[in-house]
Chains A and B, each alone.
Chain A
Amino acid sequence: MSVTTVTDLPAGPAVPAAAPALRGRLSLPLSLLLVAPLVLLLAWAFFLPIGRLLLTSVTEPTLTLTNYRRLITQPLYAEVILRTVWISFACTAAALLLGYPVAALMARPGRVVPKIAAVCVMVPLWTSVLVRSYAWIILLDRKGVINTLLVQSGVIAKPLTMLYTDGAVLMAMTHVLLPFMILPIYSSLRSLPVDLPRAAANLGAGRVRVFFAVTLPLSLPGVFAGCLLVFVMALGFYVTPALLGGPQTLMIATLIGQQATELLDWPFAGAISCVLLVLSLGMVITFKRLLRLDRVVAHD
């Protein structure tokens, strides 16, 4: 045998990509045919009415930008949009802080604990937002469960005002949206090979450093997806702020509802909706651009 140096080696085979089995198997016309029903349904039931609503915002009463001028000149709308963004942001942050550990728990190896955690996450998802919001009312009311317990146990003398505050809305919205944070993070943690954190520990990283150097960065796609979902959904939240909010908790969806149903001013409702839509799309694009979502490597 002669010289053996690594450079002489034949190039190794690239690691086989775990390509989805179906990719590229269906012909284009067939794929189109298969998605056609959904596209048609969405177009007819979703895009068409939304498009018409947005269109009325510039065409009624005549071709005009008055509706948008009103949005800008009336300080109410800027204030409410800012407040909506702020509450959505706080809600996203809270959901992230609360949801990440739960997702991590669910992604742990083992059977019992992750299963229980998964059930706890999924079951609320199957109950309506309305029910969950009312559950919070029962908990937070001045005569509610929490106050009763606190007063009876002597912790506080007078019941606390918890309901109809920003805090209540934040708490309930976080609760309602939490699964949308947990599930993407869980899925990215699940697809993280167990070898990677182990390798990091093996190379000398303690638990904390393993988390920050390996687990967290590699779960970022899930974190971003979760944050995006929660933030965008929070922007348009209606029921929970309406039920649990105080006078301050005026969110943009409430204004849209008011314009559409109380004032019957659909062009203006369309204009506000347009702002909400632009805001949401803007968030999606910014997230994608800034954090280069698709460049955060898929592992394996």
Chain B
Amino acid sequence: MTLSRRTVLLAPAFIAATSLASAARADELESTVVIRTTGGVFEAALKRDFFEPFTKATGVRVIPVAASAGEMLAKSRAMQESGRVEWDIISPQYDDLPNLAPLLMDLGDCTSIPNISRDGVPGTCGRWGELYLTGAELLAFNPQAFPQRKPSSWNDFYDVEVFPGRRALSNTGVPWGMLIQALCADGVPREALFPLDLDRAFRKLDTIKPHISVWWRTGDQSQALMRSGDVVMQTMWLGRAYASRRAGVPIEWTFNQSVADFGAWAILKGAPHPNAAKAFLNFYMENPEAHTAFAREMGYTTSSRDGQALLSPEDKEGLVATPETFAKIIHIDPAWLAANRAPALERWNRWLAA
């Protein structure tokens, strides 16, 4: 194809020239596309349901690159700074897209990706990315520990009298969900959450801190805690909760006051294979069955409306698959996050370590 990766690597100055040349055949697909994934079973499912069908349909080979969320952002930024962009598509948090705008290709209203308006749930077009994954950080609990009355909100989590038992929160360096939960538990209505009242949130968190038995660090660990019965309730990612349920662990969860854990496909500015990348974003919304299969396996629903419709009633209720559920999920205000990320994290670190 016109633009080999090597050329790009060797001579950044070339980019300008070659992209001019390629502008002449703007719609021609490159032979490969580089997509960041989280690796592991997630990547395997993506391959089976999307990457391989994409290659079959278009002839474009998908090169998946595994990287943690942190690595992804750090690398994307480093690539941009050095002028040698090697990846095409990354998968950041959907709610964070506006803050990452300088790194990302502006898709505008997504007219260049027609399938979005055909099958996407509302909001699938996120201007700098395409919503692809809909999960949540939510309250999960062991129903056997609460035969009388099940916890149904973060108020209940914070109520150690009525709902006794060992509890866990997370210690992954991403505290936003827990700050929101604390404010919800303290009675802040969801319209009034932002800007987050950090003083109030930490005051509330202070009350639960002595009762937190474990601060889990990885999703695996959160599953292990439920499996072993080590804790009776905790904050958890939907995919992990769903996987636990499929493994036969007694677990239930509520979307009440849950915080969005939405993933987006986004194309890096200066991506070496922009046409193939856009083609993939479009292809992603092509086939609802693929989405259903993916959601069943991973416990993450996707942005395909038809795909959600094909789910079993039980999955529709347990996953993010109905407008009612969508409506319950709280989204982080990207502007607040952009302005407060560093100091809030600093404060969280100090609070946690104290």
B173 sits at the interface (CB 8 A): yes
Within 8 A of A (CB), among B151-176: 171, 173-174
Docked Cα-Cα span, A74 to B350, in Å, equals 10
Q: Are A74 and B228 in contact (CB under 8 A)?
A: no
Smallest CB gap from A251: residue in B: B353
Q: How many residues of A contact B (CB 8 A)?
A: 30
Interface string of B65-95 (1 = CB under 8 A from A): 0001111011001000000000000000000
Docked Cα-Cα span, A141 to B173, in Å, equals 22
A243 sits at the interface (CB 8 A): yes
Q: Are A247 and B353 in contact (CB under 8 A)?
A: yes
Q: Are B213 and A161 in contact (CB under 8 A)?
A: yes
Interface string of B319-354 (1 = CB under 8 A from A): 000000000000000000000011001110110111
- Contact for A164 among B215, B341, B354, CB less than 8 A: B215
Q: Are B217 and A242 in contact (CB under 8 A)?
A: yes
Given contacts A143-B228, A243-B217, A247-B215, contact A263 B349 (CB under 8 A): no
A258 neighbours in B (Cβ, 8 Å): 173, 345, 349
Smallest CB gap from A144: residue in B: B228
Within 8 A of B (CB), among A148-183: 161, 164
Q: Are A74 and B346 in contact (CB under 8 A)?
A: yes
Given contacts A143-B228, A264-B74, contact A247 B171 (CB under 8 A): yes
Docked Cα-Cα span, A263 to B228, in Å, equals 34
Q: Are B215 and A265 in contact (CB under 8 A)?
A: no
- Contact for B349 among A161, A164, A250, A266, CB less than 8 A: A250
Q: Are A261 and B214 in contact (CB under 8 A)?
A: no
A114 sits at the interface (CB 8 A): no
- Contact for B74 among A76, A83, A250, A261, CB less than 8 A: A261
Docked Cα-Cα span, A266 to B81, in Å, equals 12
A75 sits at the interface (CB 8 A): yes
Docked Cα-Cα span, A79 to B349, in Å, equals 11
Q: How far is the CB of B35 from chain A (nearest CB, A)?
A: 19
B345 neighbours in A (Cβ, 8 Å): 258, 262-263
B289 sits at the interface (CB 8 A): no
Given contacts A143-B230, A262-B174, contact A76 B214 (CB under 8 A): no
Q: Are A75 and B350 in contact (CB under 8 A)?
A: yes
Q: How far is the CB of A215 from chain B (nearest CB, A)?
A: 41
List A residues at the B interface (Cβ < 8 Å). Answer: 74-76, 79-80, 83, 141-143, 161, 164, 242-243, 246-250, 254-255, 257-258, 260-266, 268
Task: List 23 contacting pairs A-B, 8 Å CB cutoff, sorted by A.
Answer: A76-B347, A76-B349, A79-B353, A80-B349, A141-B224, A142-B228, A246-B215, A247-B171, A247-B215, A247-B352, A247-B353, A248-B352, A255-B349, A258-B345, A258-B349, A261-B69, A261-B70, A261-B71, A262-B70, A262-B345, A263-B345, A264-B74, A265-B342
